[in-house]
Amino acid sequence: MNLRWESQGEGTAVLLVHGLGYTRAGWGPLRPLLARRHRVLSYDNRGIGESEIPPGPYTVSELADDALQVLDEAGVERAHVVGASLGGMVAQLLAAEQPDRVDRLVLVGTTPGGDEAYPLPERTLALIAEAASLPPDVALRRFVENALAPGSPLVDEVYAYRQAHPPDPVGWAAQAAAGAAWNADGHLQRITAPTLVVAGTEDAVVDPRNARLLAAAIANARLELIEGAGHLPFWERPEEFANLVERFLT
């Protein structure tokens, strides 16, 4: 797979695995903050940005193979892994199946999937149903608003990023299929890496109660809820999020 990745900073490697429809630039202010003490690896998942967009649907397993490819190309044998949303599903599988490659694990705004997980919040389901009837720019802005905490001052900034990095429709649908089919059943119990599970209490994209399910199922896991943050706590509260992750990694 032709994957576009980049490296920032020096030190212990931290691999960032992003979610549905977000490029490597979609971490907002986080990358330079973590790069103060770490070598930060970020990349465009298959189906988005400057990486290859093969026909879908994709699977979480394929996306996990891509994450390993980035580590291999970067010459990194073992890294801390931070996965957000769909990227958090990838990170779960990576830690379960490749324990020698994952030092510490951070799961952000994600879910174990399957029948036992909490489904998409009603606010998101209603927006998905309405989006097809809206002008594309209006729908995009509404999705940005939905990803952030209510009343967030970051709507214009994140909306500008999404306009500058529009997802390919084929790649987006293929990535979405991977997330919809995800079920961590049997994998979580195999994760041995110390794990930090993070969720914003105002997350309207992935029900934050799923964070509790993950923390309860993974040995050596701890839960951190960021009060008042939405689905993008690394963008909404970057210093707080970066400090939380750095304390955990060190």
Q: What is the pLDDT of residue 117?
A: 97
Beta strands in the chain (DSSP E): 5-8, 13-17, 39-43, 79-84, 102-108, 195-200, 221-226
CB 236 within 8 A of CB 148: yes
Total of domains in the chain = 1
Give the pLDDT score at 103. Answer: 98
DSSP bridge partners of 14:
40, 80
pLDDT of residue 68: 98
Q: Does residue 80 fall inside a structural domain?
A: yes
Burial class of 151 by CB neighbour count within 10 A (0 to 12, 13 to 18, 19+): exposed
Residue 108: per-residue pLDDT = 98
Which pTM was predicted?
0.97
Host domain of residue 222: 5-119+169-249
User: Does residue 133 lie in a domain region?
Assistant: no
Q: Is 128 within the bounds of a domain?
A: no
DSSP state of 38: S
pLDDT under 70: residue ranges of the chain:
none
Whether residue 126 is contained in a domain is answered as no
Domain annotation covers residue 100: yes
Please indicate, yes or no, if residue 162 is contained in any of the structural domains. no
- State how far the Cα of 230 lies from the Cα of 109, in Å rounded to an integer: 9
- CATH number of the domain to which 34 belongs: 3.40.50.1820
pLDDT at 124: 95
Q: Is residue 188 part of a domain?
A: yes
Asked whether residue 131 is domain-assigned, the answer is: no
